[in-house]
Amino acid sequence: MTFWDFCAPFYDLSMKANGEAYAKMLAAIQELVPYGASVIEVAAGTGAISIAICHRASNILCTDFSKQMIKVAERKAEKAKAPNITFDLRNIYDLAIPDESFDVVIAGQVLHLIDNPSKAAGELRRVAAKLVLLPLSFTKGLKGFAKIKMDLYKLLGFAPKVELTADEYNAFLNSIGFEVGKIVHCEGSVPMGIAVWHKT
């Protein structure tokens, strides 16, 4: 069992602990996803983003590499009455989907966790027809209670490969092949940002 399988039943608690920023992030993504778009969410965790945008998208493929995360997401989608979401186990390095299969690709809270973000970024760009959205929490340089929370997560096994401030996010994305048009900032105890990349 992986760390992510283990924490799947409790994953939503971490989102609630950063509720202000997370709510702003979900609201911003709802505005960014065009009506009628086909969407794939990669590394979706328990499916919060997919469920939040299900009324805008025509269809959503919600994916993660953790079977337990997908199980939680399926239960939440059923409760939310979101029949246009389907679920599958997928590897971010090899999504096994044809080029430009989805109008919008969303991959939140993942590129800073993996060994080869450049390879993953290339796969996200490949399957996107129009737009890639990359939400991320800025965990570097936190102070006070926010730092205590993050230190606790690390004790439990949360192990980011790189931590970033809001100012460093754009440079990180450029280094892995994403020249983003803008970053939407979402303030909170742990601030977040959504990088927006348009396929030309």
SS3 of residue 135 by DSSP: strand
Do the Cβ atoms of 44 and 69 come closer than 8 Å? yes
| Full-model pTM | 0.96
* pLDDT tens-digit series, residues 101-121: 999 999 999 999 999 999 999
Domain tally, the chain: 1
Q: Which residue has the higher pLDDT, 116 or 179?
A: 116
CA distance 127 to 31: 21
Domain that holds residue 106: 3-92+99-198
Do the Cβ atoms of 8 and 69 come closer than 8 Å? yes
* pLDDT tens-digit series, residues 9-67: 888 888 888 889 999 999 999 999 999 999 999 999 999 999 999 999 999 999 999 99
The CATH number that applies at residue 150 is: 3.40.50.150
Query: Residue 28: its pLDDT value, please?
Result: 97
DSSP state of 89: E
* pLDDT tens-digit series, residues 158-171: 889 999 999 999 99
Q: Please, what sign has the CA dihedral across residues 116, 122, 92, 35?
A: positive
Query: Residue 14: its pLDDT value, please?
Result: 81
What DSSP string runs through 6-58? HHGGGHHHHHHHTHHHHHHHHHHHHHHSPTT-EEEEES-TT-HHHHHTTTT-S
Do the Cβ atoms of 46 and 11 come closer than 8 Å? yes
CA distance 100 to 65: 21
